[in-house]
Structure formats: C-alpha cells, structure tokens
Amino acid sequence: MSKRISQKKFDVAKQNDLLIQLYGSLYSPKFRLCLSSYIRKKYYIIRREYFQQEYSDLSTNMRHYGNMRFAQLTIFIAITGALLKFRFESNSSLPCVIKQLVALGGLIISVVFLIMEISSSYLWAHFARRAAELETRLGYYQYSTLLGAPKFNVRPSTWAIGILFLFVLFFWAVVIFYM
C-alpha cells in the first residue's frame, strides 16, 4: 500500500518537475495557469469516474432488488400452495384448530411478504431516482426516460403484485372468520 502511495507522490513530483522545466519557475503565471487547468481536468476526470462507478453500483442494486421481488413472489406462491393443500385437503384428519392455525399462518405470511414487496419496491425506486439524477451529469438516458421518471411513483408491476398479496391476505381472513 505504501509503495503505491509513494509511487503516486513520485509521479506527481515528476509531473511538476516537467511543468517547471517547460514553463520556468514555480511562480510564473504560465506555470500557475497550466497547473490549475491540469488540476481542474484531473478533478473532472476523477469526479466523472466516481459518478460512473456510482451509476454502475446503482444499476447493480436495482437489478438485485428487481430479481429479489420475483424470487419472493415464487416463494410466496409455493408457501401459499402448501398451506392451501393442508387447509383444504378433503381426506385430512386434522382437527379444526390446526386448520385455523394454518389459515392464520397464511394470513401472517401474506402480511410479511406484502411488507417485503413494499420495501423492495421502495428501495428500487430510491436507486432509480438517484440513477436518473446521475444521468443528467453523465449524459446517459437509461433510467431518466422510464415511465414515471424521475419520481417513479407509477410502478404497475408493484401495484399488480401488491394486489395479489392483498387478495391472498383477504382470502385467508375470510377462511379464518367464516369457515
């Protein structure tokens, strides 16, 4: 680590020595102008690279939360199917209390997965807003041209999955209180 730092310091000193040879002394106006433009260019390049790295990280995070939402949906459907089988199996000799507990479990699972969906959707929208903000600085147009950009209040897939969770939640509530 210290070798890299010392190498960078050496490179900067070497560049400064070269600039001094080209423009005379450290105090000449030409040297100051050249050095300040060099620093500005270097700062702009570093800043742009930082924004590009942040943009790449945001895209990775958005991909993660988008994939996680569909993985959660798959797990939710599998769990709900298993609970439906246990609750409504015709040749089951389970007591009524156990069947009600299974229905209560279905209700709780629905609430938990609905909260997870809302959280994942919120995080995706947060990262998408930041990515759209960075696109103005970088000159990109991937997220800033999406439906609902830059606020991302309109998310049809989120509403559709949320309605599915609410429907299943309502179904389990009906099973608990009316069957």
Domain residue limits, the chain: 1-56, 64-179
Residues 106-120 pLDDT 10s: 999 999 999 999 999
Cα(155)–Cα(124) distance, integer angstroms: 11
Pick the residue with more confidence: 99 or 26?
A: 99
The alpha carbon of residue 155 and the mean position of all alpha carbons in its chain are separated, in whole angstroms, by 15
- Tell me the CA distances in angstroms from 26 to 31, 78, 113, one per residue in order: 6, 72, 65
Pick the residue with more confidence: 21 or 131?
A: 131
Q: Find all residues with CB under 8 Å of 169, minimum gap 6, and list them.
A: 107, 110, 111, 114
Within 10 A of 48 (CB to CB), how many other CB atoms are there? Answer: 12
Cα(28)–Cα(35) distance, integer angstroms: 11
The H-assigned helical ranges of 89-155 are: 96-138
Range picked from 48-62, 71-85, 117-131, 149-163 for highest mean pLDDT:
71-85
Please, what is the average pLDDT of the chain? 81
Residues 61-108 pLDDT 10s: 999 999 999 999 999 999 999 999 988 886 777 788 888 999 999 999
pLDDT of residue 175: 92
